[in-house]
C-alpha cells in the first residue's frame, strides 16, 4: 500500500478517530453533516478524528454508527471480539431459495404460465399473510420462490401487448413483496437487483400504481444507503410524483394512496437531512391526501392510510432527533389502529427511539417489548432496536439492564 493510500478500517489497527474519519469519507459525508446528525459541533468531530479527544462513550459511539450507517459496530470501534450487526440481520434461512429464484433466467419451460387472475389471488394472499403473521418473513419467504418464477414465466409467455403489460405489473408487485423480505438481509446487491427489476417491470407495465409502488421502494433503498444517496432518493420520489399528480382528479384509492406514501417518503428524507420545515410540509401534504381516502382504507404495500399518519409523525420527529416532539407525537398516535403486525412493530420501534431521545430508556425498552409481541421478525432485523437494546444492556441501572438483556436474548442478540 502506498503511503498516501486511504487506510482500510477493516484491516489496519486504526484508532477510533481514524476509523471514524475513514468511514465518514467513504460515505462522502462532511464533518459538518456528521456533527449535525449526532448533535455535536464540526470542531468536536475534527478533534475526535485527530485523536485530540478520546473515543466517546457507548451512547455517542452508537449514534455515530447509526449516522454513518455502519453495518457492524466492530468496523467503527475496532473491537473485533464484539460484533454487532447494526442494520443487517443475520440472514433468514429462506434467503438462499429466494435469491436463487430472483437470479434464475429460465429460457425454456415445460408448463403453461398461471393465469393473471391466479397470480393476483396468490399475491393477495401473500400480502395478507405478510401483514397478519408475526413471523412474516418466514411466511413470505416460503411463498416467494414459486411466485417469482411463475410471474417471470407469465411475462415470457404473454402473447398480446395488453397481456404482457398486465404480466409486467404483476411481476413488479412480486418484486415489491420480495424487497420487503430482502431488506436488512446480508446481501445488499440482491436488494438493489430486486429494486431495479421491480421499477423496470413497473415502467414496462405502464400502470401508474405499479410505477408508484416500485418508485416508493427504490427511494427507500437510496435513502437507507446513506446521505450520499439522498439526492437520488429525492429524484425518484419527485419525478414519480410529477408523473402521478396530474392523475389525481380521477385517481382510484390505490393511486391516491401511493401519491400520499411518496409525499411522506420525501418528508422522511428531508428529516434525515435535518430539514425540519420541508419534512413537516411533506408530512402535511401526505395527511391531506390521506383525508381523501375512506376511513377504513389501508394500502396493502405501503400501509398508507388515515391511521398511519400518526405513526409517520413520530418518524419525522425521531429522524429530526427531536426528543420532546417525538414523545408528543407518540401520545397522539394510536398504534392499535395499524392493522399490519410488522408495520405496528415498526411503529413501536420508532416510539422507542423517541423515548430514548427524550431520556426515557425504561419506557423505550418496554415499548420494544411491545414491538416484539407484534412481530418478532421485525425487531430481530431492525438496527435501531438493536442499538437501543445494546446500549441499555450495559446500563448501570440493574432492573433496566436485566430487561434489556432479556429482550436481547429473545431476539437473538445474546445467548440464553
Is 416's pLDDT higher than 80? no
Residue 232's Cα: distance from chain center in Å?
16
Please list, residue by residue across 380-415, b when 16 or more beta carbons sit within 10 angstroms of its beta carbon and e when fewer do. Answer: bbbbbbbbbbbbbbebeeeebeebbbebbebbebee
Residue 236's Cα: distance from chain center in Å?
16
pLDDT tens digits along 79-110: 655 555 555 556 789 999 999 999 987 777 77
Q: Residue 299: its pLDDT value, please?
A: 95
Residue 181's Cα: distance from chain center in Å?
11
What are the grid coordinates assigned to 141, written together?
A: 419467504
What are the grid coordinates assigned to 384, written together?
A: 435501531
Angle at 375 between CA 194 and CA 253, to 5 degrees: 60
Confidence class for position 6, pLDDT limits 50, 70, 90: very low
Phi, psi of 298 (to 5 degrees): -150, 115
CATH number of 16-77: 1.10.260.40
Across residues 252-261, what is the average pLDDT?
Answer: 97
Spell out the alpha helix ranges (H) of 104-187. 116-132, 136-157, 161-182
**Average model confidence (pLDDT) for the chain?**
89
Calpha distance 93→114 (Å, rounded): 27
pTM reported for the whole predicted model: 0.80
- 3-class DSSP state of 392: helix
Calpha distance 153→167 (Å, rounded): 9
CA distance readout (Å), 246 to 123, 205, 242, 260, 391 = 29, 19, 7, 14, 48
Q: Where do the domains of the chain lie?
A: 16-77, 307-416
Calpha distance 83→174 (Å, rounded): 34
What are the grid coordinates assigned to 136, written together?
A: 412474516
- 3-class DSSP state of 412: coil
CA dihedral 78, 83, 89, 90 (to 10 degrees): 130
Highest averaged pLDDT of the listed ranges 54-68, 312-326, 330-344: 312-326
CB 150 within 8 A of CB 119: yes
Q: Residue 109: its pLDDT value, please?
A: 72
Spell out the alpha helix ranges (H) of 29-135. 31-38, 42-49, 58-67, 73-77, 95-103, 116-132
Higher pLDDT: 227 or 265? It is 265
Higher pLDDT: 412 or 315? It is 315
Amino acid at each position: 500500500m502506498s503511503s498516501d493510500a486511504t487506510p482500510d478500517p477493516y484491516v489496519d489497527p486504526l484508532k477510533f478517530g481514524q476509523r471514524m474519519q475513514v468511514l465518514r469519507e467513504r460515505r462522502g459525508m462532511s464533518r459538518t453533516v456528521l456533527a449535525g446528525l449526532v448533535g455535536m459541533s464540526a470542531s468536536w468531530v475534527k478533534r475526535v478524528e485527530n485523536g485530540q479527544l478520546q473515543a466517546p462513550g457507548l451512547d455517542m459511539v452508537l449514534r455515530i454508527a447509526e449516522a454513518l450507517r455502519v453495518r457492524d459496530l466492530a468496523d467503527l470501534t475496532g473491537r473485533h471480539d464484539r460484533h454487532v450487526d447494526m442494520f443487517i440481520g443475520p440472514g433468514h434461512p429462506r434467503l438462499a431459495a429466494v435469491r436463487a429464484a430472483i437470479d434464475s433466467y429460465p429460457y425454456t419451460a415445460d408448463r403453461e404460465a398461471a393465469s393473471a387472475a391466479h397470480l393476483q389471488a396468490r399475491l393477495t394472499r401473500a400480502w395478507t399473510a405478510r401483514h397478519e403473521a408475526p413471523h412474516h418473513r418466514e411466511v413470505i419467504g416460503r411463498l416467494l420462490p414459486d411466485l417469482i418464477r411463475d410471474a417471470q414465466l407469465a411475462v415470457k409467455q404473454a402473447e398480446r401487448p395488453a397481456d404482457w403489460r398486465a404480466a409486467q405489473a404483476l411481476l413488479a408487485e412480486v418484486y415489491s413483496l420480495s424487497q420487503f423480505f430482502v431488506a436488512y438481509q446480508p446481501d445488499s446487491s440482491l436488494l438493489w437487483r430486486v429494486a431495479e427489476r421491480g421499477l423496470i417491470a413497473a415502467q414496462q407495465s405502464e400502470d401508474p400504481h405499479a410505477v408508484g409502488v416500485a418508485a416508493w421502494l427504490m427511494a427507500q433503498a437510496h435513502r437507507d444507503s446513506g446521505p450520499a444517496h439522498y439526492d437520488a432518493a429525492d429524484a425518484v420520489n419527485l419525478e414519480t410524483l410529477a408523473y402521478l399528480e396530474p392523475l389525481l382528479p380521477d385517481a382510484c384509492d390505490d393511486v391516491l394512496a401511493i401519491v400520499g406514501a411518496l409525499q411522506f417518503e420525501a418528508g422522511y428524507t428531508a428529516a434525515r437531512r435535518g430539514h425540519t420545515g420541508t419534512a413537516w410540509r411533506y408530512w402535511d401534504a401526505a395527511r391531506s391526501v390521506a383525508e381523501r381516502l375512506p376511513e377504513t382504507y389501508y394500502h396493502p404495500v405501503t400501509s398508507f392510510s388515515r391511521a398511519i399518519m400518526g405513526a409517520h409523525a413520530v418518524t419525522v420527529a425521531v429522524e429530526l432527533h427531536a426528543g420532546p416532539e417525538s414523545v408528543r407525537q407518540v401520545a397522539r398516535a394510536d398504534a392499535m389502529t395499524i392493522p399490519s403486525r410488522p408495520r405496528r412493530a415498526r411503529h413501536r420501534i420508532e416510539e422507542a427511539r423517541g423515548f430514548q431521545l427524550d431520556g426515557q430508556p425504561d419506557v423505550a425498552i418496554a415499548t420494544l417489548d411491545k414491538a416484539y409481541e407484534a412481530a418478532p421478525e421485525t425487531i430481530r432485523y431492525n438496527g435501531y432496536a438493536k442499538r437501543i437494546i445494546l446500549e441499555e444492556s450495559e446500563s448501570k441501572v440493574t432492573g433496566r439492564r436485566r430487561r434489556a438483556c432479556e429482550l436481547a436474548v429473545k431476539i437473538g442478540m445474546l445467548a440464553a
